[in-house]
Structure 1
Amino acid sequence: MQHIKRGYRGLSLLFNLNWDRILYLTTIAVALLAGGFIGSL
């Protein structure tokens, strides 16, 4: 059980450190998809 808690805590720490990068990459991906959709019309 402690191993699971440690893994969750480590994953949570990584997410907290990198949430802005994840948001940045997600925004770029959404923009590319939207541009591709609009370009195909």
Structure 2
Amino acid sequence: MQTIHQSYRSMRLVLDLNWDRALYLATIAAALWAGSVIGSVLQ
């Protein structure tokens, strides 16, 4: 049980440290999508 608890805590730490990277990737994906929509409308 202690091993499960320790691995959960370490996984939570990794997620806490790296959540902003996921936000950056989502922002870049949204910007690329919006650019493609605007580009296809203007053609």
Question: What is aligned with 1:23?
Answer: 23
Question: What is aligned with 2:32?
Answer: 32
Higher Rg? 2
TM-score (normalizing by structure 2): 0.66
SS at match of 2:34: helix
The CA RMSD over aligned residues, in Å, is 1.6
Q: Which 5+ residue runs of structure 1 have no aligned equivalent?
A: none
TM-score (normalizing by structure 1): 0.68
